[in-house]
Amino acid sequence: MRITYCNFSLLFCVLLVAGCQDSSTEHDEDQAGSNEITACRAVDGITPICGFKNPEDLVQLPGTQQLLVSEMGAFMTDAPGKLLIYDIAAAQQLDLPIEWSAGEEVWGDSACTAPEPDLFSPHGIDLSLKGNRLQLLVVNHGGREAVEFFEVIAADEDWTLQWMGCALPPGDPFINDVVALSDGGFLVTHMWNKSIAFEEVGRRLLAGEKMGWVWEWQAETGFSFVANSQEVMPNGITVSKDNKKIFINVYMGNKIIKLDRGSGMVEGTFEIRQPDNVTLDADGMLWIASHQQDPLNDTCTVEEGPCLLPFQVARVDSQTMLGETVLEHEGAPMGYVTVALKVDNEIYMGSAHGDRIARVSLP
Asked if pLDDT for residue 5 goes beyond 90, the answer is no
> How far, in Å, CA of 173 to CA of 61, rounded?
29
Parallel, antiparallel or unpaired: strands 234-239 and 245-250: antiparallel
Contact 98, 164 (CB under 8 A): no
Contact 281, 354 (CB under 8 A): no
pTM recorded for the entire structure: 0.91
- Per-residue pLDDT tens over the stretch 161-207: 999 999 999 999 999 999 999 999 999 999 999 999 999 999 999 99
Q: Supply the pLDDT for residue 33.
A: 54
Q: Which residue, 94, 162, 98, is CA-closest to 134?
A: 162
Taking every pair of Cα atoms in the chain, the longest distance, rounded to a whole number of angstroms, is 70
**Stretch (H or E) spanning 205:** helix 198-206
CA dihedral of 94, 120, 191, 129, whole degrees rounded to 10: -50
Top pLDDT among 295 and 37 is at 295
Residue 255, strand partner residues = 250, 271
Average of per-residue pLDDT across 97-115: 95
Top pLDDT among 122 and 304 is at 122
CATH superfamily of 3-361: TolB, C-terminal domain (2.120.10.30)
Q: Which residue, 261, 259, 252, is CA-closest to 321?
A: 259
> How far, in Å, CA of 31 to CA of 262, rounded?
57
Phi, then psi, of 214 in degrees rounded to 5: -115, 135
Asked if pLDDT for residue 6 goes beyond 70, the answer is no
**Stretch (H or E) spanning 27:** helix 24-38
Q: Which residue, 301, 307, 277, is CA-closest to 76?
A: 301
| CA angle in degrees (0–180, nearest 5) for 57-2-5 | 70
Parallel, antiparallel or unpaired: strands 82-87 and 66-71: antiparallel
Contact 162, 153 (CB under 8 A): yes
Q: Supply the pLDDT for residue 186.
A: 98
Residue 228's SS3 state is coil
Asked if pLDDT for residue 67 goes beyond 50, the answer is yes
Domain locations along the chain: 3-361
Asked if pLDDT for residue 7 goes beyond 50, the answer is no
Contact 33, 100 (CB under 8 A): no
Average of per-residue pLDDT across 57-84: 94
> How far, in Å, CA of 256 to CA of 251, rounded?
8
Peptide bond between residue 306 and the one before it cis (omega within 30 degrees of 0): no
- Per-residue pLDDT tens over the stretch 270-311: 999 999 999 999 999 999 999 999 988 887 877 789 999 999
